[in-house]
Amino acid sequence: MQQLSVRHLLGIKNLTENDIQLILDTAREFKDVINRPIKKVPSLRDITIANVFFENSTRTRLSFELAEKRLSADVVNFSASGSSVKKGETLLDTVNNILAMKVDMIVMRHSSPGTPHYLSGRIKANVVNAGDGTHEHPTQALLDSFSIQDKLGDVAGKRIAIIGDILHSRVALSNIFCLQKQGAEVMVCGPTTLIPKYIGQLGVKVSHDVREALSWCDVANVLRIQLERQQIKYFPSLREYSLYFGINKKMLDELDRPIVLMHPGPINRGVELTSDAADSHHSIILDQVENGVAVRMAVLYLLAQL
């Protein structure tokens, strides 16, 4: 049986091309499983997984929990609000207390970049990064690649434009690594203030013109403006952002070739996307969410074999 080269899923940066392929191939098998009348397999029976979330989440948290349950794992959920973290307990003490209850795997979301990396060097359990601040969101990038494969047959040779708040986005960085490792071309597009200065060193094209990005790409992956991570104003107003960088259905319909529209969620309707674009035939946004369960099943299953 093929195995991953890593014990923890901390980011896409440290995955090999074979790791990515193995996860996507395994996810394809699990997608068949979850479309059967009986959606559950016993693969992780007797494995206990804790979902430790220090930041808000809808999709990632529910998707991991469903993936764990479909694999017959035992699941416990922890959120920082309402926990003893509020009484001053350290992150490591909190996690070690969870592990003392015979937990085998930690799925963690945290607002500080590098938190899962810090933990992985200090605990025995496998660690899965479910988003660390503005750094990486590896399972989102994997489910995005899986969804592109599903829609277009392959990721290699495709042109993907990532449009929006690149500066504060963990989805952007993980997607850049994941898409490039699979042979796609990547462009980032947004206002100058929301594109990191040195992003060109990652080998991506840069545009500040959303129409140019849409004309260039096969897939537009549109990102949310992350106001909660912005301590200063990066653009004059949301209305102005939407005027210059917002995407509507007419812009997509007028392109001279098909385009696939993606968004990791949550969407700010009327800001980065109008509702008629988000809900149009171009959009695979809910397919991304569906595919997330199969991809997370694959990640958990493969890590549990190590």
Question: Position of tokens 């800001």?
Answer: 271
Which of 44/141 has CB closer to ligand CP? 141
Which of 60/242 has CB closer to ligand CP? 60
Which of 58/96 has CB closer to ligand CP? 58
59 binds ligand CP, rule: CB under 6 A:
yes
Backbone torsions φ then ψ of 152, nearest 5 degrees: -115, 0
**CA 183 to each of CA 10, 203, 272: distance values in angstroms, whole numbers, following the listed order:** 22, 12, 27
Q: Tell which residue, 273, 198, 191, 278, has the closest CA to residue 230.
A: 191
How many residues bind ligand CP (CB under 6 A)? The answer is 9
Nearest approach in angstroms of CB 302 to ligand CP is 21
Nearest approach in angstroms of CB 109 to ligand CP is 7
Which of 207/264 has CB closer to ligand CP? 264
Footprint on residues 245-274 left by ligand CP (CB under 6 A): 264-266
Q: Rule CB under 6 A: choose which of 26, 48, 51, 60 binds ligand CP.
A: 60
Which of 64/241 has CB closer to ligand CP? 64
* Residue 62 buriedness (CB in 10 A; 0-12 / 13-18 / 19+): middle
d(CA 299, CA 259): 29
140 binds ligand CP, rule: CB under 6 A:
yes
Nearest approach in angstroms of CB 133 to ligand CP is 12
Q: Point out which residues pair with 220 in neighbouring strands.
A: 161, 261
Dihedral over Cα of 81, 87, 91, 97: its sign: negative
Nearest approach in angstroms of CB 131 to ligand CP is 6
What's the length of the chain?
306
Sites of contact with ligand CP (CB under 6 A) = 57-60, 131, 140, 264-266
